[in-house]
A and B are shown apart, each in its own frame.
Chain A
Amino acid sequence: MRNIVSPPPERRNILSSYTSPETLRDRSNWYIKLRWIAILIAGIFVFSGSHILNLHLHLTYLTWTLGLLLIFNIGYFLTNKKRRALDRIVELGILKFQMVMDLFFLTILMHLTGGVENPFSFFYFIHVVISSIIFKGKEVYQIAFLAIILFSLEVLGVQFGLLNHFHILSSSEHLHDPVYIYMALSVFCFVILFTAFLASNVTSRYRVIRDELIHKQKQLIVADQAKLDFFRYVAHEMKSPIVTIQSALDTVLSLYKESLNEKADDLLSRSRDRSQQVLDTVKDIVDMTQGTDEKPLQFAPCNVSLLIQNIRESLLDEYAIKQPNIDLRIPDDFEMKTYPELLDKIISNLLSNAIRYSDDNCQVILELIKNSHEMELIIVDFGIGISENEIPMIFDDFYRTAKAREKEKIGTGLGLAIVKRFIDKLGGSIFVNSTLNEGTTFTVKLPIHE
């Protein structure tokens, strides 16, 4: 209801929060991982080039270079390990330093393996793509230009005899033809810049979409809360008048039954049942929205054994006409920390269902098994059961099985939905095992917090 459509002003914060120091530190970690792989692959290339392709590689220099890169990465890894994110500028600096050092290493590697003779220069493109993932816009182009400068310096330096050339092929004279050099350099520049453009474009679009999604998700949470607030408000507003109507009908039917004529009695009884139906739904909706209001639920120690005994008492009272046998198999004074209100609703809903959907004098068993980290509540009845194709739907809001509707005309279909919701809230799980006309077993598993 409030402010669901128009983007709220905190939008800016959402966008900038994605280059937060934490994000940058995470990118740093990712980049370090990537570098392990790069070192491994470079090692494999050097090894296979020298031993399989029989290239004239200067293994000493190469090993030194790769070794140094390895030491650098170990250094990055150790300093980055489990550290807190620093200032945003510092984090960006760390990333830039790594990227620049990598370009230097790559240029040295390329130089040692024949320079323009060697397709190692393709790795510059990977660096540009990586930098578009790590940085945005301007910085990506800075990296691209640095790659161009380093590559050109190496190629031109060799060309003009300023740098020593390491031959790896036996016949590579044509590769040192000025025309070839000129073509190689211009294509390199163009492709590097184009890669920078494409990659930074795609990643920035991706970021916009992702931020939009995150923003939308936040809006959804707000809208969902507004919906719950509305439901709770409606339920509360409806409850008082219905309670009053119900009380009036109860009182008339109880005090003046003899003086009512048969038809009036019948109509009033029907009204009473229907108002009960509305009341049940309202109560269930109130339950469902429980803990969503300003008053958070209390996570507190709870004597589960006592809670269960109390539920048993009140159910025996509520279903006195049916004379159910509620057999408790629970440890004495079992205590754990939980949300007692939620646990109460879970157990009372499951137990009252077990009674409601069984015949008079039915047997209902509640067993509590305490394991080391979780407790298991097993509720067994020998009632109408649930057909196999209906089992997937029983936890849906307002769903009632055909058999259930036949057995108990009035029911909200919200009981199990509430149970499921509350179990989720407590971090537990629920399982059903049922055979039509034979009975149902619900197993609830809840984590134990000491």
Chain B
Amino acid sequence: MKNTQTILIIDDDIDLVEILRVNLEHNQFNVLDAQSGEHGIKIANELSPDLIILDVMMGNLDEGFHTAYALRQNPSTQFIPIVMLTAISQETGYSFRPEKDEAFLPVDEFLEKPVNPEKLVDIIRKYLPVSA
């Protein structure tokens, strides 16, 4: 029962990417990573991952948001579920309750770091059920 689902992590914190990779690979996912929004969009386009984990805060404050919008606007990536991670919820001035801001925030999940590894996997499984 080998899982071949692929997850793309877009985050500029290499250490965090490695930690997420350990967790996700342990749970039988394939992991791709990108250190910038731009790079992430390119990889998403080329390799069509099954899910994207996106960090809000990269180099500039809104890079994660812009990346999310760009992914949603591109026909080849618009249906890929996005789990957004944030370090500090107040920092951007955006509202972080997606249920209130569906139009505003084009992501499927919004989690504040650090996310418990089991919880993260549970959330990912909501979008990527174990394939037979």
- Using a CB–CB cutoff of 8 Å, the interface residues on chain A facing chain B are 236, 239-240, 243-244, 246-248, 250-251, 254-255, 279, 283, 286-287, 290, 295, 298, 306, 310, 340-341
Shortest CB distance A270–B (Å): 17
The one of B22, B91, B97 that contacts A251, using a Cβ cutoff of 8 Å: B22
Assembled-state Cα–Cα distance A359/B36 (Å): 46
Shortest CB distance A272–B (Å): 10
Q: B residues within 8 A CB of A236?
A: 88, 91
Assembled-state Cα–Cα distance A415/B117 (Å): 27
20 A–B pairs (Cβ distance < 8 Å), ordered by A: A240-B87, A243-B16, A243-B113, A243-B114, A244-B13, A244-B19, A247-B16, A247-B114, A250-B117, A251-B23, A254-B118, A255-B26, A286-B90, A286-B91, A287-B90, A298-B93, A306-B100, A310-B97, A310-B99, A341-B90
A251 touches B90 (CB 8 A): no
A250 touches B22 (CB 8 A): no
Q: A residues within 8 A CB of B22?
A: 251, 255
B100 touches A251 (CB 8 A): no
Shortest CB distance B6–A (Å): 20
B117 touches A255 (CB 8 A): yes
Assembled-state Cα–Cα distance A85/B88 (Å): 48
Shortest CB distance A274–B (Å): 14
Chain B, residues 48-87, CB within 8 Å of chain A (1/0): the string is: 0000000000000000000000000000000000000001
The one of B23, B99, B113 that contacts A255, using a Cβ cutoff of 8 Å: B23
B90 touches A247 (CB 8 A): no
Assembled-state Cα–Cα distance A255/B121 (Å): 12
Shortest CB distance B98–A (Å): 11
A295 touches B93 (CB 8 A): yes
The reply on B46 being an interface residue by CB < 8 A is: no
Enumerate the 7 nearest inter-chain pairs by beta-carbon distance, A residue then B residue, closest first: A246-B114, A247-B114, A254-B117, A243-B113, A247-B19, A251-B117, A244-B15
Assembled-state Cα–Cα distance A236/B86 (Å): 12
Q: B residues within 8 A CB of A254?
A: 23, 116-118
Assembled-state Cα–Cα distance A341/B115 (Å): 21
Q: A residues within 8 A CB of B87?
A: 239-240, 243
Shortest CB distance B26–A (Å): 5
- Majority SS of interface residues in chain A? helix
Q: B residues within 8 A CB of A283?
A: 88
Shortest CB distance A58–B (Å): 77
The one of A244, A279, A298, A310 that contacts B16, using a Cβ cutoff of 8 Å: A244
A240 touches B13 (CB 8 A): yes
Q: A residues within 8 A CB of B115?
A: 247
Assembled-state Cα–Cα distance A255/B26 (Å): 8
Shortest CB distance A233–B (Å): 12
Interface positions, chain B 88-132, Cβ under 8 Å from A, are: 88, 90-91, 93, 95, 97, 99-100, 113-118
Q: Which residue of the partner chain B has the closest CB to A254?
A: B117
| Listed residue (A243, A287, A295, A340) with the most chain B CB atoms within 10 angstroms of its CB | A243
Q: A residues within 8 A CB of B15?
A: 244, 248
Known: A248-B19, A250-B114, A250-B116. Contact between A290 and B90, CB under 8 A? yes
Q: B residues within 8 A CB of A240?
A: 13, 87
Q: A residues within 8 A CB of B26?
A: 255
Chain B, residues 1-38, CB within 8 Å of chain A (1/0): the string is: 00000000000010110011011001000000000000
| Listed residue (B26, B90, B93, B116) with the most chain A CB atoms within 10 angstroms of its CB | B90
Assembled-state Cα–Cα distance A290/B87 (Å): 15
Q: A residues within 8 A CB of B13?
A: 240, 244
Q: Which residue of the partner chain A has the closest CB to B93?
A: A295
B113 touches A247 (CB 8 A): yes
Q: B residues within 8 A CB of A250?
A: 114, 116-117
Shortest CB distance A153–B (Å): 73
Assembled-state Cα–Cα distance A1/B101 (Å): 39
Shortest CB distance B31–A (Å): 13
| Listed residue (B22, B88, B91) with the most chain A CB atoms within 10 angstroms of its CB | B88
Assembled-state Cα–Cα distance A283/B113 (Å): 11
Q: Which residue of the partner chain A has the closest CB to B90?
A: A290
Q: B residues within 8 A CB of A243?
A: 16, 87, 113-114
Assembled-state Cα–Cα distance A279/B113 (Å): 10
Shortest CB distance B30–A (Å): 17
B88 touches A239 (CB 8 A): yes
Q: Which residue of the partner chain A has the closest CB to B118?
A: A254
Q: Which residue of the partner chain B has the closest CB to A290?
A: B90
Shortest CB distance A339–B (Å): 11
Known: A243-B87, A244-B13. Contact between A251 and B19, CB under 8 A? yes
Shortest CB distance B34–A (Å): 18
Assembled-state Cα–Cα distance A187/B99 (Å): 86
Q: B residues within 8 A CB of A247?
A: 16, 19-20, 113-115, 117
Q: B residues within 8 A CB of A295?
A: 93
Q: Which residue of the partner chain B has the closest CB to A248?
A: B19
Assembled-state Cα–Cα distance A279/B112 (Å): 12
Given contacts A240-B13, A243-B16, A255-B26, 20 further A-B contacts (CB under 8 A): A236-B88, A244-B13, A244-B15, A244-B16, A244-B19, A246-B114, A247-B19, A247-B20, A247-B113, A247-B114, A250-B114, A250-B117, A254-B116, A254-B117, A254-B118, A279-B114, A283-B88, A286-B88, A290-B90, A310-B99
